[in-house]
Amino acid sequence: MTSRRETILNQTMRKNYLGDDSADTLSRRLARQRTAHQHRLLSYCLKSNLNNEQWTSAVNNVAPASSNATEPVEKSECFAHLSECLMGGVIARKKITTGINAYKMQDYKAAYQSWLAASRLCDNRELFYTLNYLISLSFDFGNFRKMLGYAVHQFQIARFLGERNLIAEAYLNLLTARGLLCNWELCLSYCKSCLNYLDVDKAGYVYMSVACAYLELNRFSEAAGFLKLTCDACNQQKNYGLLVQALVACSGLFFSLKSYPEAKEFATRAVELAGTIFSINPGSARYRRCAVHLIPIQIKLRQLDEAMQLCEEAVRSALEYHDVYVQAKCLLYFADISRLRSDHEVAYQSYQASLDSGYPQLRLRALFGIGKSVLKTRPLDGNQDIAQTKALNYYQEALELATSLGCKLDVLRCYRRMAKLHLPTAEDSVSPLQHVQELCDQLQLFCNLCGNLCGLKRSQLIVLGCGHIYHRKCLTENGRVNGKHYCVTCRSLSEDICESFLVLL
């Protein structure tokens, strides 16, 4: 019976496909016919909830599984549904490839549209990887809230599929998005959960995220300890992409503590290394984000011309490639440069524009800058008390924001500035000064060799791998043993974290 059917099919094919077809061609066509028939039966069986025995019988027998009059209609509907699913997967993969090609050509908006369209057609596994592309592109655009939304969706898919490697990858994206949105406590919580799923060779990324979260929370000793763990992971895995992130974080650590020469050294090395592993072109968001870390350091060192040049290059690139995060940063840096050049009106307007950027950290810096500009601007009526009152209001708003973010060092600096404004006229200046003393005790930024505070005045510091911080001149006078410093706090020998990182370059 089967041979008779194949004979009929052969005759039909010769009617439909004129010409001399080889036997191989005909056999391939027959195979496709059988495959299509099996797909139709599979879809029908799924819809009809047939058991395994009935499905096997349906595939092996040519006769229909039932002679019900409505069955051909059901088969037709099932086959249409199955064809739609199969075609959707093909279209999705094609759109993903189109998006990748557009991304390589730096047409990021076209890439985004292709990946977004593909995400509506994928199955769960393909959707997981498509969301990876969308997360990466949202990071490049500086749209961190959208990045978080994609990461949450990806995490739900990973939990549904129940695969450890997918859950770990989703956790990494989720904690990165939370950190960028200044939800550092949540970021730390996700880091702890991620380590339960992550392979050992990728743990360096979690250590890096923990270090950045502690750094933003001004818990510098913990941050230094995890930076040392990140350094060890970079050394073991030869992961230079992670090393760039660690160098930028070390630069941020020294910048927060006003040790600007060390901050510049790390930032410069990070940019140099990024130039060798990332694409150096205007469309490279990762290289651009790394390069802009140099600008605030140059501003603090009063290298204003170099800072302005680098800022102009960064903002041109950011405008061309829709990086709103770097645009907002550069606007803030323009304001800082204008203020230091005594162009306080321009600085004030730029700071005001920065308030609406949508990034909490940049808003905090803008509030500090407005307070400084208001104090430097000469009032038209000559009444300086009004300017001080306005500045005090901005510092009060900055204080509330810094407190909500958990940035204790910024809270401390707010109280110090408010105390200076209060001292000449009021007795309530005691309250800010009391807060200053309490925060100094909480931050534990005392140098245990000289007893003075670190991070409130410019000074060169040494951060040891054990997490303790000293003035460079104090620790140098204390001597070294086998290239290591003796930490008087934990009574052990520890490496200088700067040397640990720079030896890898």
Question: Residue 45's pLDDT is what?
Answer: 45
* Long-range contacts of 457-463, Cβ-Cβ distance < 8 Å, separation of 24 or more: 457/258, 458/258, 458/259, 458/260, 459/258, 459/259, 460/259, 460/261, 460/262, 461/254, 461/257, 461/259, 461/262, 462/496, 462/498, 463/220, 463/224, 463/253, 463/254, 463/496, 463/497, 463/498
Whether 28 is in a domain gets the answer yes
pTM flag (> 0.85): no
Alpha helix segments (H runs only) across 17-163: 23-48, 52-60, 71-104, 108-119, 124-141, 144-161
**Whether the Cβ atoms of residue 177 and residue 210 lie closer than 8 Å to each other:** no
Residue type, 255: F
Domain edge (last residue) among 51, 77, 108: 108
Domain, as residue range, for 53: 22-108
Domain end position, chosen among 85, 108, 131: 108
- CATH number of the domain encompassing residue 421: 1.25.40.10
Give 10-residue mean pLDDT values along the chain (505 residues): 48 41 48 51 45 42 41 46 53 86 88 89 86 93 94 94 93 95 94 90 92 93 91 88 93 94 93 81 78 95 94 91 93 95 90 90 94 80 75 92 92 87 52 74 80 83 85 75 75 80 74
From 301, 384, 290, 302, select the one nearest 329 (Cα to Cα): 290
Q: pLDDT value at position 94? A: 85
Alpha-carbon dihedral 389, 394, 395, 398, rounded to 10 degrees: 160
Q: Is residue 51 in a domain? A: yes
Q: What is the DSSP annotation of 161-208? A: HT-HHHHHHHHHHHHHHHHHTT-HHHHHHHHHHHTTTS-GGGHHHHHH
Q: Tokens 């349906």: give the residue.
A: 58
In this structure, the chain runs to a length of 505
Output the pLDDT for position 431. 66
Residue 409 lies in a domain: yes
pLDDT of residue 263: 94
Indicate the number of domains in the chain.
Answer: 2
pLDDT at 488: 79
Contact 43, 11 (CB under 8 A): no
Residue 31 lies in a domain: yes
- Alpha-carbon distance of 221 to 96, in angstroms, equals 44
